[in-house]
Amino acid sequence: MEILSFVRKNLFWILLGLLVVSFFGRNNYKGVVGIAAEALQDPIQTPLPVSPPITFRANGYAYELEPLYHYEINAMLVHKLNYRTFSIYNFDKVFPFDLCLIWGDNLSKKSYRANTLSFSQDCRFCWAQWRESLPFNLNQLSNNHLLMNSRKFERIIGFLVYGDQIKITGKLVNVKARKLGAGGDWDSPAEVSWHTSTSRTDSGAGACEVIFVEDIRILKAANVFWRSVFLVSLAGVLGLIALNLVRFFSRAGRTPKFEE
């Protein structure tokens, strides 16, 4: 009974603690053991016949994409960045999602599990850093700028955690984007153009693949336990906050009674 009483009184703080712990636990790619066979293979790039451009409107721009190659990549996600959220520049919303992916020997040789290896993203780059002698192949890492005209794919990307092994199918494209409407912020140019890399062995500026996503799915989910704890604890914290707000305003709206 004492334990139950303690849990009831401290439920919010217990859930908040679980939320913090599971937030980091769900993104622990170093704990991934099972590797999907597909993720050991190099990406597949197939030339396309000359085809009409892909056009659509999103993020305040009209897009015109020049398809160059059909592209399929199976890999492990080690970092992601949503530039709609983590950028001060409206320009970055033209290419909202970047995924840093590794595959092949980097997975089969378990290089990703090295203690000193880390990944980071910023300014449209993905960096891999390590201090020890490590058989890490930089030609089996890529930073991918993702474009899509689908809320479904955006939700899938938002749900991904580090360590997920995923399959992306689409087209490598060169992009032109024209701002819709007049005016705009200083960092939102009227026209934007961006060219995709078509090689896995290049590096530096211009080495990122620009992919128009036609399908994305999880081959093997990572950290399922911590992912579930995070969702449950997040729902619990938000539910308790909402419940207490309802109680607060319901009490505040009552007319006080005075005794004569």
pLDDT of 183 higher than 60? no
Q: Name which of 89, 141, 149, 90 is nearest 111 in CA terms.
A: 141
Structure letter (DSSP) for residue 170: E
Q: What is the pLDDT of residues 201-235, one digit of tens each?
A: 998 888 999 999 999 999 999 987 777 787 888 88
Q: What is the pLDDT of residues 95-152, one digit of tens each?
A: 889 999 999 999 999 999 999 999 999 888 999 999 888 999 999 999 999 999 888 9
* Residue 160, number of CB atoms within 10 A of its CB: 18
Residue 17, sorted as left (phi over 0), alpha (psi -120 to 50) or beta, turns out to be: alpha
Q: What is the pLDDT of residues 4-57, one digit of tens each?
A: 566 666 888 888 888 888 778 788 999 998 999 999 999 999 999 888 899 999
As a whole number of angstroms, the distance between CA 105 and CA 39 comes to 10
> What are residue 76's DSSP bridge partners?
102, 165
* Residue 159, number of CB atoms within 10 A of its CB: 12
Q: Are the C-beta atoms of residues 73 and 196 closer than 8 Å to each other?
A: no
